[in-house]
């Protein structure tokens, strides 16, 4: 943006001014004519004081200057009757704009002129997606910066991730936000510098998936093997595409008995991502053993659907193995990298999943004959082994009779041992019964009850004796307390106090009278001894400036400052001019 454009954007058309009279050009006017960047400033500034030319005396060279004025209607040789500087008319009052009016004019001028611009710069201050899905950041270069807004509808179509420091080219329009007087760039299209948006988005998402362990050498889950003979195959593709026909043709040629469940979904364009993801999730809820995601070849833009993050994550989250057969062999998508198996073409995917039925039947027939021969051989071998065991075993009836005899002898011995133990246990039981009868708890309980009754009687007797003793002691203490009761003494004290209270006022009155008379005597004695009484008779107290009392003339010298205190509290300052000791 050049300086001239800035003047057109941020200023407004200058207000019409009255045609000036032929006057000498003022020195300040050329400076205002050069301010093209802000033509509205003359309206906001106070008018220049026109009184300055009136202070200057009319000069003779002023005539040629007026002759050079392009706006002077007077002829060059016409001499005015009055000096030109006397005919200057006052300027019109400047037009004052409000802030909203100024911002509105800027908006009306700026937005139509920059309705479509291409701007190159570096992303700065990127804060990510806000709560409503919008993106806000700044676009800057080495000298300037501008705010950029990317609305949610455009942000959803963004194929790469923005970050600070990324150089981009933005197509959009300029927008002025009047409440704050700020302008910003509204994005309609954004492309990275130096690399395509799709390539950048592909690399960014690929790095993200590698970091999360979905692809690459650090893959967290190993690729799952395909089932040898799937019971049902789920296919996500477009039912009108050639890829489905090629897949089914090869599949039924190799194994026509396989069951296929097809989910129709768009393979490119708007909404393809969500349809493919929905189809994958629906198949995961069904009874398929493997899922095939396939479509025919195309440009990178046609195959971009399979580089979108929702589809990649849906493939990773599948509970059954996923075969990716997208595009041709030279085409590689993120879906191919995440899937368990990548097939170069839809036909190759069918060959991976469907073994040849004829070969399977031949293998089955061969295995059947081999199994039959092996079983026959095993039966013959086991029969020979059984005959050898029978001959080694002998007649089991003889062994059974021998074991019965051993068992009968053991039973007799066990019966004798049990009878002997029964007799011993019976004898012990009788002895224990007799001991229990002798030490039965009912007799012991009766004896304990008799002892408790005796103890209770003794305890009641002892408590009654102690209670009588305590009562006697309490009676003695009560009588002693009555003898030493303070009641009579308190009554006597109260009577004495009443008599003393009656005598106190008279004693106090007499005492006050005596003290007053004594005070009058002391006051008379004090007045007779007071120096103030002496001063009232015409005497004075002489002291130096330092406060020392002067008693003799010999203590003074000429020039000393004296203070004389007279009767009534008056004080006189004096200076010694002459000292005459007594006797001279």
Is there a single domain that holds both residue 77 and residue 103? no
Is there a single domain that holds both residue 138 and residue 271? no
For the chain, counts of helices (H) and of strands (E): 18, 13
Is there a single domain that holds both residue 178 and residue 234? no
Backbone dihedral region of 323: left (phi > 0), alpha (psi from -120 to 50 degrees) or beta?
beta
Is there a single domain that holds both residue 212 and residue 355? yes
Is there a single domain that holds both residue 248 and residue 189? no
Confidence at residue 408, expressed as pLDDT on a 0 to 100 scale:
85
Average pLDDT of 104-128? Answer: 85
Is there a single domain that holds both residue 164 and residue 259? no
Average pLDDT of 265-281? Answer: 90
CB 175 within 8 A of CB 111: yes
Average pLDDT of 210-222? Answer: 85
What is the arrangement of strands in the sheet containing 290-295, beginning at the earlier edge strand?
259-264, 232-237, 290-295, 322-326, 341-342
Domain boundary among 171, 194, 217: 194
Domain membership flag for residue 487? no
Domain membership flag for residue 465? no
Query: pLDDT > 70: what percent of the chain?
Result: 83
Residues of the chain by 3-state class (helix, strand, coil), percent to 5: 50, 15, 35
CA distance 561 to 542: 10
CB 362 within 8 A of CB 342: no
Regarding predicted confidence, which is higher, 452 or 482? 452
CB 244 within 8 A of CB 294: yes
Query: pLDDT > 90: what percent of the chain?
Result: 19
Among 124, 127, 144, 137, residue whose Cα is nearest residue 185: 137
- Extract long-range pairs of 130-139: CB within 8 Å, 24+ residues apart: 135/162, 137/162, 139/168, 139/170, 139/185
Angle, helices 242-254 vs 346-353, to 10°: value is 30
CB 132 within 8 A of CB 146: no
CA distance 541 to 566: 7
CB 531 within 8 A of CB 541: yes
CA distance 289 to 226: 9
Confidence at residue 584, expressed as pLDDT on a 0 to 100 scale:
58
CA distance 217 to 213: 8
Ranges 36-45, 195-204, 550-559, 574-583: which has the least confidence: 36-45
Most confident by average pLDDT, 281-295, 362-376, 428-442? 281-295
* CATH code of the domain containing 141: 2.40.50.140
Ranges 30-44, 66-80, 91-105: which has the least confidence: 30-44
pLDDT tens for 152-166 read: 888 888 877 888 778
Is there a single domain that holds both residue 270 and residue 354? yes
Is there a single domain that holds both residue 124 and residue 243? no
Domain boundary among 296, 328, 359: 359
CB 353 within 8 A of CB 296: no
CA distance 399 to 100: 122
CA distance 82 to 572: 88
Confidence at residue 457, expressed as pLDDT on a 0 to 100 scale:
92
Phi, psi of 540 (to 5 degrees): -140, 155
Is there a single domain that holds both residue 142 and residue 120? yes
pLDDT tens for 438-473 read: 777 777 788 888 899 999 999 999 999 999 999 999
CA distance 336 to 339: 5
Regarding predicted confidence, which is higher, 226 or 95? 226
Confidence at residue 195, expressed as pLDDT on a 0 to 100 scale:
54
CB 246 within 8 A of CB 300: no
CB 290 within 8 A of CB 340: no
Residue 321 has pLDDT above 90, yes or no: yes
Q: How confident is the model at residue 43 (pLDDT cuts 50, 70, 90)?
A: very low
Domain membership flag for residue 406? no
CB 186 within 8 A of CB 172: yes
Confidence at residue 583, expressed as pLDDT on a 0 to 100 scale:
62
First-to-last C-alpha distance (Å) of the chain: 118
Q: Residue 24 half-sphere exposure, CB side, CA atoms within 13 Å?
A: 19
CA distance 136 to 147: 8
Domain membership flag for residue 91? no
Domain membership flag for residue 22? yes
Domain membership flag for residue 172? yes
Is there a single domain that holds both residue 225 and residue 78? no
Domain boundary among 86, 109, 127: 86
Confidence at residue 289, expressed as pLDDT on a 0 to 100 scale:
92
| Range list of H helices, 331-356 | 334-338, 346-353
Among 254, 195, 204, 194, residue whose Cα is nearest residue 229: 254
Strands (DSSP E) along 304-442, which ranges?
322-326, 341-342
- Extract long-range pairs of 153-160: CB within 8 Å, 24+ residues apart: 154/187, 154/188, 155/129, 158/190, 159/197, 159/198, 159/200, 159/201, 159/304, 160/192, 160/197, 160/198, 160/200, 160/201, 160/204
Confidence at residue 83, expressed as pLDDT on a 0 to 100 scale:
55
Domain membership flag for residue 498? no
The total domain count for the chain is: 4
Average pLDDT of 484-511? Answer: 85
Is there a single domain that holds both residue 54 and residue 103? no
Q: Which domain holds residue 72?
A: 3-86
Is there a single domain that holds both residue 128 and residue 186? yes
Give the number of other CB atoms < 10 A from CB of residue 192.
19
Residue 71 has pLDDT above 70, yes or no: no
Domain membership flag for residue 304? yes
Backbone dihedral region of 394: left (phi > 0), alpha (psi from -120 to 50 degrees) or beta?
left
Among 123, 119, 111, 120, residue whose Cα is nearest residue 174: 111
CB 581 within 8 A of CB 558: no
């Amino acid at each position: 943006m050049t300086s001239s454009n800035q003047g057109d954007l941020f200023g407004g058309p200058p207000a019409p001014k009255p045609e000036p009279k032929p006057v000498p050009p003022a020195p300040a006017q050329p400076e205002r004519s050069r301010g093209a960047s802000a033509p509205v400033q003359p309206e906001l500034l106070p008018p220049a004081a026109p009184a300055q030319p009136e202070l200057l005396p009319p000069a003779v060279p002023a005539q040629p200057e007026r002759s050079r004025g392009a706006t002077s209607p007077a002829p060059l040789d016409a001499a005015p009757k009055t000096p030109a500087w006397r005919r200057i008319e006052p300027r019109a009052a400047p037009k004052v704009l409000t802030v909203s009016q100024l911002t509105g004019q800027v908006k009306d001028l700026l937005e139509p002129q920059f309705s479509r611009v291409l701007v190159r710069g570096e992303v700065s201050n990127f804060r990510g997606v806000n709560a409503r899905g919008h993106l806000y950041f700044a676009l800057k270069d080495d000298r300037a910066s501008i705010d950029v807004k990317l609305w949610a509808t455009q942000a959803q179509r963004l194929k790469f991730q923005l970050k600070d420091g990324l150089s981009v080219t933005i197509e959009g329009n300029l927008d002025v936000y009047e409440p704050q007087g700020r302008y910003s760039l509204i994005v309609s299209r954004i492309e990275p510098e130096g690399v395509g948006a799709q390539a950048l988005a592909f690399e960014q998402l690929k790095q993200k998936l590698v970091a999360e362990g979905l692809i690459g050498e650090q893959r967290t889950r190993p690729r799952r093997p395909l089932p040898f003979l799937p019971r049902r195959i789920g296919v996500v593709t477009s039912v009108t595409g050639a890829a489905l026909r090629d897949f089914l043709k090869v599949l039924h040629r190799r194994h026509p008995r396989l069951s296929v469940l097809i989910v129709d979904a768009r393979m490119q364009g708007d909404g393809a991502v969500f349809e493919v993801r929905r189809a994958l999730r629906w198949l995961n809820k069904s009874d398929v053993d493997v899922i095939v995601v396939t479509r025919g070849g195309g440009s990178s833009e046609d195959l971009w659907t399979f580089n979108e993050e929702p589809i990649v994550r849906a493939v990773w989250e599948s509970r059954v193995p996923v075969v990716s057969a997208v595009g041709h062999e030279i085409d590689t998508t993120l879906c191919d990298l995440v899937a368990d198996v990548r097939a170069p073409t839809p036909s190759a995917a069918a060959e991976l999943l469907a073994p040849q039925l004829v070969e399977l039947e031949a293998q089955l027939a061969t295995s059947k004959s081999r199994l039959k021969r092996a079983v026959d051989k095993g039966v013959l071998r086991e029969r020979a082994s059984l005959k050898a065991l029978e001959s080694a075993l002998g007649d089991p009836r003889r062994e059974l009779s021998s074991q019965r005899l051993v068992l009968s002898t053991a039973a007799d011995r066990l019966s004798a041992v049990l009878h002997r133990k029964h007799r011993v246990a019976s004898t012990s039981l009788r002895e224990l019964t007799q001991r229990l009868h002798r030490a039965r708890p009912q007799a012991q309980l009766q004896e304990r009850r008799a002892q408790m009754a005796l103890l209770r009687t003794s305890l009641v007797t002892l408590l009654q004796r102690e209670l009588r003793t305590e009562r006697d002691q309490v009676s003695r203490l009560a009588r002693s307390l009555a003898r030493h009761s303070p009641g009579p003494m308190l009554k006597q004290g109260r009577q004495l106090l009443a008599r003393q209270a009656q005598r106190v006022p008279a004693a106090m009155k007499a005492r006050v009278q005596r003290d007053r008379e004594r005070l009058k005597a002391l006051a008379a004695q004090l007045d007779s001894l007071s120096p103030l009484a002496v001063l009232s008779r015409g005497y004075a107290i002489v002291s130096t400036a330092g406060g020392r009392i002067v008693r003799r003339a010999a203590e003074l010298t000429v020039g000393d400052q004296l203070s004389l205190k007279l009767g009534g509290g008056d004080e006189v300052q004096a200076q010694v001019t002459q000292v005459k000791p007594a006797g001279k």
